[in-house]
Amino acid sequence: MKKITPRDLALGIIFISQIMIGILGNFSLLYHYLFLYHSQCRMRAIVMILKHLTIANSLIILSKGVPQTITALGWKHGFSDFACQLIFYVERVGRSMSIGTTCLLVIFQTVMISPMNSCWKNLKVKAPKYIAFFISFCWIQCLFVNLIFPLHTLYVSDKWRSINMTNTRDFGYCVATDLENISGSIYAALIAFPEMSFSVLIFWASGSTILTLYRHGRRVQYIHKASVSPRPSA
């Protein structure tokens, strides 16, 4: 453990403050959603999505913020290889689940606010029934897909370290194998491509939502002007 400088102490305090605010905010929302779940017979689909999004964000805060705080406070390389890979695994699962859940939330909102004469009119009734299935599928996919990387490290990383030490990367709190360089094609196919696809869907759904709200605002404004305009006398 190195000597803590004033700069490291300031960074540690900032990290701790951010973690505490993030954890308190996410757990407050999670408590609120769980309270709604137990107090109501049937939970709204959007509340279910937000509950799982809160859990995913909490995983990211804990797996990313706590190690960085420990590193900033001077405890470098304090985690074993197993603990390091476990932290990376939790972070990847939380990140993938956060992006997937955000995509599901934005698309669900786009479908639900779409006009009745749009192409989404049949899906508006069926969408809430399949939310639980899609969330469960997303969790299973994130858990099993990201499990490939710690398994890859356990069984293959020693061979790669003996061949090329540049494949290791210092993360501050531990030195681990940089899997993005070792298995670039696997990482791109299983992680990067799905996240990029979700980001494109989020961008498209957000644009569709803005366009729908804009058209609705123009329509309401036209109706309001027509209702307040003076009527011609007989």
Summarised one tens digit per residue, pLDDT across range 4-55 is 667 767 777 777 887 788 888 888 877 777 776 666 655 577 888 888 888 8
Q: Which residues pair with 169 in a beta bridge?
A: 176
- Give the pLDDT confidence score for residue 184 in this predicted structure: 61
Provide CATH code, domain 6-160+167-228: 1.20.1070.10
**pTM for the whole thing?**
0.76
pLDDT in tens, 69-110: 777 776 766 677 777 888 888 888 999 999 999 999 898 888
Name the nearest CA neighbour of 175 among 84, 101, 52, 50.
84
What distance in Å separates the CA atoms of residue 96 and residue 90, rounded to the nearest whole number? 10
Q: Which two tokens stand for residue 4?
A: 């803590």
Domain boundaries, the chain: 6-160+167-228
- Give the pLDDT confidence score for residue 203 in this predicted structure: 92
- Give the pLDDT confidence score for residue 195 in this predicted structure: 84
Please, are residues 104 and 139 in contact by the beta-carbon 8 Å criterion? no
Q: Which residues pair with 170 in a beta bridge?
A: 175
Question: In this model, does residue 222 exceed pLDDT 50?
Answer: yes
Q: What is the mean pLDDT of the chain?
A: 76
pLDDT in tens, 116-167: 766 767 777 777 788 888 899 999 988 888 887 777 666 655 554 444 445 5
- Give the pLDDT confidence score for residue 182 in this predicted structure: 52
